Structure 1
Amino acid sequence: MLFVFFILIIVFAVLAAFLSASETAVIASSPFRLNQMAKKNPSASVLLELQKQMPVLIGCLLFTNICLLNGMASIATELFRQYLGPLGLVIAPVVVSALTALYVEILPKIYVYQCPERAALFLVPLLQFLKRFLFPITLLMDRIAHYSLSWLGVSSTKETANTLEDLRGAIDLHAGSGIISHERAMLGSILDLSRVTVSEIMVHRKNIVSFNIDLPFEQLCEYLLTAPYTRIPLWKDSPDNIVGVIHLKTLMRYLQKKEKLKENSDIYSMMKAPWFIPETSTLFYQMQLFKEKHSHQAFVVDEYGSLLGMVTLEDILEEIVGEIRDEYDVDFPGVRTTPQETYLVRGCVTLRDLRRQYEWNFDEPSVSTLAGLILHTCRTIPEVGTVVRIKEFEMKILRVHHHQVTLIEVTPMRSEENVQ
């Protein structure tokens, strides 16, 4: 009889260990990873369906596990009582609890947690059998649990998952450096396209390379052909009054066909009408419009129709992949390092570029440039020599031109831990 009891305890313990492992495997399995595995492994699809009924499945596992553990404890207590008498009733709970916690709960869960998807796929047949066999009992227990929570005033309705935040969390957990770090930054930038507006990345109107359409034709052609861009805006009367955009390929073809072009009316025939967009357009929406209209350039205006700046398809792509440089670009324009480990930064450099290039995070959504951040912090136009402390950075104003902060010396402050 002793041998039979001992065998029953071992069987109950093994089954309980499998159920404990199953519980951890099902909970810890990533739905995203299972969704990818389901394309090749049908068991992954079954596991995904089981996860959708998580309360019933967990109730099934816990009910079976508790029955096995109680049966094992009852048999062990009876054996201890037979051989140790009343003292066995005191020793049995301590010994059984310690062995159960270690070998039935802790060890299986630790092992399964290392590879939850693989373990869950292996245990799928067991999970399906228990769910079907104990479905009436576990469904009844689930209903009782929900009614009990309602009686206590606790809502049992599962909150709707924020898929976008789930993706951001998964991307942030994509640990690593080098190529992995760049991949993480690119994936995060793709999600930002739907909430970043064109006004945050546009080229300000003061920095737009444009020319007066009323210039003498030969002089205008000389300016256009020496410009570092292929699409050049043209203005009339004022740089804020953009009247057209000329493509250098169109100009070159026109110059090849006609040897003499002396009238500015030829420019009007070559240029295209400018495309104006509101400043509130998101990058994702604007990129879709670029694809639909087969255009690469648009001009940003405010609610009053005043020109704010210009945005191109390349600007949006740079938000995803980082700075795209060609033979005419310079290395991260607007920032220069000094031997004293400080940075000379132009005021027009955007905070997003600084975050992407140097991982400087200022978390200020209301401004887009470094000069705007300083004005927002000071609440006044600072004088030359003014030192401003923003987060872990010390900023010294080096140049102010026409009430605009144009050059700043940025010194990252070292924390006490780094200094030590």
Structure 2
Amino acid sequence: METLSTGVLFLILALLILLSSFFSSSETGMMSLNRYRLKHRARSGDKSAKRVYGMLKRPDKLLGLILLGNNIVNILASAIATVIAIRFWGEGGIFAATLMLTVVILIFAEVTPKTLAALYPEKISFFAAPILKFLSSIFHPAVKLIGFLANGLLRLFGINADSDHEDHLSQEELRTVVNEAGAMIPRRHQKMLLSILDLETVTVDDIMVPRNEIIGIDLTDDIGYIREQIRNSIHTRLLVFRNEIDEVEGFLHARNFGRVLEMESDSPEDILSYLDPIYYVPEGTPLHTQLMKFQRKRDRVGLVVDEYGDIEGLVALDDILEEIVGDFTTEMSSVNRDIQKDGDNVYLIDATVTIRDLNKTLHWDLPTEGPKTLNGLITEYLEAIPQSGTCLRLYGYPIEILQIKDNIVKSVRAMPELYKPPVDIQ
């Protein structure tokens, strides 16, 4: 170095700092990449993405190459800076050279390039990949030796760098990805994707039509009344039973309505020849499981039964699909009938409405782990059957009991504007 002029040394020093900046930004850019976006681009045929994705499969070799290059240029830069300082200030300039070089490297070779790489990881990585690939072929023996020593050290701690560490997202992580997609995924599509994830946590009990609300045909009724039921039906399937709902015979599909109306016999028993068999669903079945069962059995409706075989309610394929895409039967929506507005921020509610529907419609936060209906939640909360006119705060929400019938809360008035959520003190 003694033969080199000071100007040439400054030029070499600037070049080394530039190389240090390159290695630093390459490291941060490669490690900051969105692996899932990178994998998608690689599978789509993007050559730059394929190159980077291939290098990231062995991060030990990639980091070994980058750190090897970075340390070589930094040490060499330190040596040149020391020579320059000695030329200007003698032996006393070594400390000044160390201090100044540290500041220069921190600003121009570490913080600035790494910040830039963190903000634009794809641009930096795709630019750096061909250069790193070339350097890898030159320094292959040294990189291989460094990787061997580093992996041997990792094995002492029970870590195998050669194993395939495939990235997998948990359900909550995937939920976060969907929520943070922003304008890349329309809001309606985000809700649908999140609803699909919720199918594992929601059961048929949460969305079924309770047994007391199931509309069906009683074979003990007069045939004229039965035909009138069929003419006025808004459903594609009617449950057919004898005396009470537990004595079910089958489902009468809409395709057979005309045949029943036109049959010459006046005996309700002749309807039995037009019935579809009953499909039973165990209570507590998760919606994603039931959706697959409906698909496999090519069925669309089933009766939910408890462990004793008693009928708890009715669940249909349409109900599960509405959990994903939202209500698509708005005119006949049970939620619209069960929740009616009665002035500003006052609602008249049929207490048989499910807690989940109530929470979704009014944006409440009532617990869903216990009772499935508002009536059940009120009864559990009070530990008694209330009287009409009783007022209470149900988990903070002001409720007035309007009607009690057959020991069941039939209707309530809710005033959610009076509810003040708890303050979250940080």
TM range (shorter): 0.7 to 0.9
The 10-residue stretch of structure 1 (314-323 or 230-239) with the greater mean CA deviation from structure 2 = 230-239
Measure the CA separation in 2 of the matches of 1:278 and 1:311: 11
Are 2:182 and 1:175 equivalent residues in the alignment? Answer: yes
Q: 1:119 to 1:363 in 2, by over 3 A?
A: farther
Q: 1:343 to 1:64 in 2, by over 3 A?
A: farther
Please state whether the residue corresponding to 1:244 is helix, strand or coil: strand
Question: Does the 8 Å CA contact 2:219/2:269 hold for their aligned counterparts?
Answer: no
Measure the CA separation in 1 of the matches of 2:351 and 2:280: 26
Gaps of 5+ in 2: none
Are 2:289 and 1:275 equivalent residues in the alignment? Answer: no
Alignment partner for residue 230 of structure 1, among 212, 227, 236?
Answer: 236
2:83 aligned partner: 78
Cα RMSD for the two superposed structures = 3.1
2:302 aligned partner: 298
- Measure how far apart 1:107 and its partner are: 1.9
Alignment partner for residue 144 of structure 2, among 120, 136, 140?
Answer: 136
Gaps of 5+ in 1: none
1:320 aligned partner: 324
Alignment partner for residue 60 of structure 1, among 28, 50, 65?
Answer: 65
CA deviations over 1:84-139 (Å, ceiling 9, x no partner)? 33553333333222222222222222222233223322322233334452431331
Question: Does the 8 Å CA contact 2:60/2:147 hold for their aligned counterparts?
Answer: no
CA deviations over 1:330-370 (Å, ceiling 9, x no partner)? 67332223433244333333333344444434464344334
Please state whether the residue corresponding to 1:316 is helix, strand or coil: helix
Q: 1:227 to 1:365 in 2, by over 3 A?
A: same
Measure the CA separation in 1 of the matches of 2:71 and 2:361: 55
1:116-155 paired onto structure 2 within 5 Å? 116-132=121-137, 133=140, 134-147=142-155, 149=157
Alignment partner for residue 292 of structure 2, among 288, 295, 315?
Answer: 288
Question: Does the 8 Å CA contact 1:59/1:141 hold for their aligned counterparts?
Answer: no
1:194 aligned partner: 200
1:3-152 paired onto structure 2 within 5 Å? 3-38=7-42, 39-132=44-137, 133=140, 134-147=142-155, 149=157
Q: 1:401 to 1:121 in 2, by over 3 A?
A: farther
2:171 aligned partner: 164
- Measure how far apart 1:320 and its partner are: 0.3
Question: Does the 8 Å CA contact 1:336/1:343 hold for their aligned counterparts?
Answer: yes
1:213 aligned partner: 219
Measure the CA separation in 1 of the matches of 2:404 and 2:82: 85
Aligned residues: 411
CA deviations over 1:285-314 (Å, ceiling 9, x no partner)? 222222232221111101110101111110
Question: Does the 8 Å CA contact 1:374/1:388 hold for their aligned counterparts?
Answer: no
The 10-residue stretch of structure 1 (209-218 or 357-366) with the greater mean CA deviation from structure 2 = 357-366
Measure the CA separation in 1 of the matches of 2:32 and 2:74: 23
- Measure how far apart 1:376 and its partner are: 4.9
Please state whether the residue corresponding to 1:348 is helix, strand or coil: coil
Q: 1:181 is aligned with what amino acid?
A: R
Measure the CA separation in 2 of the matches of 1:377 and 1:220: 41
Please state whether the residue corresponding to 1:308 is helix, strand or coil: strand
Aligned sequence identity (%): 26
TM-score of the superposition, structure 1-length normalised? 0.86
